[in-house]
Structure 1
Amino acid sequence: MALKKNRAFLKWAGGKYSLIEAITAKLPYANKLIEPFVGAGSVFLNTQYPKYLLNDINPDLINLYKIIQKRADHYIADSASLFVASNNCETRYYALREKFNLSTDRYERAVIFLYLNRFGYNGLCRYNQKGIFNVPFGRYKAPYFPLKEILFFAEKSQQAVFTCLPFEHIFSRSRLGSVIYCDPPYAPISQTAKFNSYASGGFSLSSQNVLAKLAEKSGYERNIPVLISNHDTPFTREIYQQARLTELQVSRFISQSGGTRNKVGELLALYQAD
């Protein structure tokens, strides 16, 4: 009997829920799983490591996770209060989005962040170069409040430490006995298919190269295995040529219409000493 999979409480472009089995099959056992790009946390939620170090460069995301880790009941009550029919319209959505962008209160931003995630277009998390959240209204009939998913995350997060640092810093913090799983913003399939603004600043091809070199050093010199997910392109095959590659075909889309989902090639690149 297959184990029940746990969904993340956030909608997330490029989330790994559908790939959990393929990813976990390649992840070695260790005392700690380190994720430099945790995103919505599907791998964290569906693995059984004793400890976790979960990082993301998006401060709103990590702030939200820390609040749920410490104050889940309080957070649930306040965030659920926004999930009412009167807030499911363009006027209210854009007013709350503006309130979020103007706010410097971390708790208030965390409460509104979940609303924006569920009421905004396709669960996108996107900022402009000034750090302004700019995802448009989603036009959903009745956005779902993820109560059971938040409660599960809150319970499991007691095993985790959350950080908001550049991915390079997370590699330098890793120690023997850990394994690293990387789900970076994907390399573009083409020059017209770039989407990498989960946090302001983006993720360049140069950053992709740096990540591959750090993974190679970690896996083969430091004996800390690294598994990376990315698009299957000539570029990624070149930068991951020192890894053991697994090819996948995945439904990938940023669209509200399921009919427009296309299968695209993805790679799992494993750096692990024999």
Structure 2
Amino acid sequence: MANKTILKWAGSKVRIIEKLRPHLPKTKRLVEPFAGSCAVMMNTDYEQYLIADVNSDLINLYIQIVESPQLFIADAKESFDGNNNEWSYYYSRNMFNILKFALPYIEKPAPLELASLFFYLNRHCYNGLCRYNSKGDFNVPFGKYKKPYFPEREIIAFGKKATNAVIAKLEWQDTLSLVEGNDGIYCDPPYMGGRDSFTQYHTAGFTNADHEALAIALKDINDSQGNPITVSNSVLAKSLYADLGFTIHEIEAPRTIAANGNRKAAKEIIAVLEGVK
């Protein structure tokens, strides 16, 4: 049975981890430039991890948990008590956006408060989406859940697991620049064609040109350093990776979000480049 993550997350790999795991690199350290909910880290046993993501809210959350897991739990629990209503949600969302942009001018413990609010929003918002408007404001609507789950056990497990991880806010290009000779790489970028295209995970977006640049960069690393590489993506990326020499595996993956209400399983690809010694 797969280990759950601390966050609700669109596109989480928890649901396909048994299909994904056989195709992951067999190395001491796994490098993830698109960390997301850390489903892969929580369901694998690498000796070390480099966990990176461009989303500063996500990385701040993880750092706060690693540095002070019990303090985070105590702070985050307060926001769950009696706040499962629409008014409290939108008040918290507004406070989160205000605090986020005031953060450089506020002394600690503002990062912990920011992490707790982000966690609260994730657990109470619609479908666990992580979406921002053009100004950088978190703008996912209220989820209307009866009793959101507080994942204390998962938070503790994450804190323990992440002691073997370096966690950093980095663009994917910068993360790949840190790859060492014996590392394996797993990439889970926003899917080509926007399987959940109505979400905006980061204000910069992720275009088809970005997909092509990522695929070429991964091929170059494999050619120059021999690192094994695994990529998850939609079937729309199949030709891009196949043309670069990746081995393509097609799988059925359950949808958690669909703009048209259709949540039937959809095909995805796992693209693999074996390591070269």
TM value normalised by structure 1 = 0.92
Partner of 2:274: 272
Task: Name the aligned partner's letter for residue 93 of structure 1.
Answer: Y
Aligned-partner SS, 2:116 = helix
Query: CA, structure 1 residues 90+189, in 2 after alignment: closer, same or farther (shift >3 Å)?
Result: closer
Give the drift of 1:108: 1.2
Residue of structure 1 aligned with 2:6, choices 9, 16, 21: 9
Give the drift of 1:273: 4.2
Is 1:166 equivalent to 2:186 in the alignment? no
* Conserved? CA contact 1:220–1:271, under 8 Å: no
* Conserved? CA contact 1:179–1:226, under 8 Å: yes
Task: Name the aligned partner's letter for residue 91 of structure 2.
Answer: A
For 1:1-274, what aligned pairs fall within 5 Å after superposition? 4-85=1-82, 87-103=83-99, 104=103, 105-188=110-193, 194-195=197-198, 197-233=200-236, 236-241=237-242, 242-254=245-257, 260-273=262-275
Partner of 2:107: none
Give the drift of 1:124: 0.6
Aligned-partner SS, 2:80 = coil
Aligned-partner SS, 1:13 = coil
* Conserved? CA contact 2:198–2:259, under 8 Å: no
Task: Name the aligned partner's letter for residue 102 of structure 1.
Answer: I
Task: Name the aligned partner's letter for residue 178 of structure 2.
Answer: R
Aligned-partner SS, 1:269 = strand
Between the aligned residues of both structures, percent identity stands at 39
- CA–CA distance in structure 2, aligned partners of residues 256 and 272 of structure 1: 36
* Conserved? CA contact 2:129–2:199, under 8 Å: no
- CA–CA distance in structure 2, aligned partners of residues 129 and 225 of structure 1: 36
CA RMSD between the two structures: 1.7
Deviation digits for residues 171-224 of structure 1, max 9, x if unmatched? Answer: 11101110000000001168xx62452122111111100110011112233101
After TM superposition, the structure 1 stretch with the greater mean CA deviation from structure 2, 152-161 or 20-29, is 20-29
* Conserved? CA contact 1:122–1:256, under 8 Å: no
Give the drift of 1:113: 0.7
Size of the alignment, in residue pairs? 265
* Conserved? CA contact 2:52–2:170, under 8 Å: yes
After TM superposition, the structure 1 stretch with the greater mean CA deviation from structure 2, 18-27 or 55-64, is 18-27
Give the drift of 1:256: 11
Q: Which structure carries more relative contact order (alpha carbon 8 Å, separation 6+)?
A: 2
- CA–CA distance in structure 1, aligned partners of residues 259 and 235 of structure 2: 24
* Conserved? CA contact 1:188–1:195, under 8 Å: no
Structure 2: gaps spanning 5 or more residues: 104-109
Structure 1: gaps spanning 5 or more residues: none
Aligned-partner SS, 1:252 = coil
After TM superposition, the structure 1 stretch with the greater mean CA deviation from structure 2, 176-185 or 198-207, is 198-207
Query: CA, structure 1 residues 41+215, in 2 after alignment: closer, same or farther (shift >3 Å)?
Result: same
